[in-house]
């Protein structure tokens, strides 16, 4: 599905620079995923009444910028910029790219927008008290056009109807998957899940 929003000429130039950088850092499949998540983030932003569509676009575009980095690259970035992973993070490489992605965007790309950076920081774990942009990016990553996991249609329908229901389904999916694979659950993910349960 295409979106109807347009970037300003300055934003367009920036987007082209970021795309060039992403193509250098990411495998083609991951680059395509990034474009699809950017598109999905704009759609959800429009749907949920989030006003800054360009920010949603850039959050989606950049969210996986270090996803294809090697274990050593992640480790040296965390060391270089002083990020101390928790025990659960240290044992799960899949969680690293959300943290190192923010470090790269902040220290190497000069991005200072906290709202954009925290959306990327929590796009794999979620957390309690998520901002609208954090929720948009978290869900966009689940429903982007390139996704084809079992249950993606249900997820897309939920996201199209109600953000809270979609968040519940996404968190249950994540937690169930981790339990089935006997993987630890990040405390932020449990906090996000508990918060939704308590709100009901
Ligand atoms: Fe990711
Ligand atoms: Fe992603």
List the one residue out of 200, 24, 50, 36 whose CA is nearest residue 119.
50
Ion ligand 2: residues, Cβ under 5 Å: 64, 141
Cα(13) to centroid(ligand 2), Å: 23
Residue 174 CA to ligand 2 center (angstroms) comes to: 14
Distance 68 CA to ligand 1 centre (A): 10
Q: Using one digit for the tens of pLDDT, what is the confidence trace for 92-130?
A: 888 999 999 999 999 999 999 999 999 999 999 999 999
Q: Which two tokens stand for residue 30?
A: 């991951």
51-96: pLDDT as tens digits: 999 999 999 999 999 999 999 999 999 999 999 999 999 988 889 9
Give the residue among 105, 101, 154, 95 at the shortest CA–CA distance from 127.
95
Sorting pLDDT into bands at 50, 70 and 90, what band is 2? Answer: very low
Q: What is the pLDDT of residues 38-49, one digit of tens each?
A: 999 999 999 999
CA 45 to ligand 1 center in whole angstroms: 19
Dihedral angle sign, alpha carbons of residues 168, 1, 18, 110: negative
Contact by Cβ (8 Å): 66, 100: yes
Q: How far apart are CA 83 and CA 3, in angstroms?
A: 36
**Token duo for residue 138:** 């978290």
Domain ranges of the chain: 9-199
Which letter, b or e, does each residue of 120-147 get, where b requires 16 or more Cβ atoms within 10 Å of its Cβ? bbbbbbbbeebebbbbbbbbbbbbbbeb
State the distance from the centre of ligand 1 to the C-alpha of 103, rounded, in angstroms. 14
Which ligand ends up closest to the CA of 94? 1
What CATH number is given for 9-199 in this structure?
1.10.3210.10
The ligand whose atoms approach the alpha carbon of 37 most closely is 2
**Count of residues for the chain?**
200
The pLDDT tens digits of the residues spanning 136-163 come to 999 999 999 999 999 999 999 999 999 9
Q: How far is the CA of 118 from the centre of ligand 1 (A)?
A: 13
């Amino acid at each position: 599905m295409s979106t109807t929003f347009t970037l300003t000429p300055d934003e367009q130039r920036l987007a082209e620079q970021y795309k060039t950088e992403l193509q250098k850092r990411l495998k083609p499949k991951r680059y395509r995923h990034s474009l699809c998540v950017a598109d999905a983030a704009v759609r959800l932003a429009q749907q949920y009444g989030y006003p800054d569509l360009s920010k949603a676009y850039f959050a989606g575009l950049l969210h996986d910028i270090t996803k294809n980095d090697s274990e050593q690259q992640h480790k040296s970035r965390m060391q270089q910029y002083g990020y101390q992973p928790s025990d659960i993070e240290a044992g799960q490489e899949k969680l690293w790219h959300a943290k190192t992605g923010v470090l790269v965007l902040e220290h190497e790309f000069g991005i200072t927008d906290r709202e954009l950076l925290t959306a990327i920081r929590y796009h794999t774990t979620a957390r309690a008290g998520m901002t609208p942009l954090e929720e948009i990016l978290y869900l966009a990553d689940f429903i982007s056009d390139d996704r084809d996991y079992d249950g993606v249609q249900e997820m897309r329908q939920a996201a199209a109807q109600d953000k809270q229901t979609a968040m519940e389904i996404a968190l249950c999916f994540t937690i169930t998957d981790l339990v089935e694979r006997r993987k630890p659950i990040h405390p932020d993910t449990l906090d996000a899940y508990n918060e939704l349960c308590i709100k009901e």
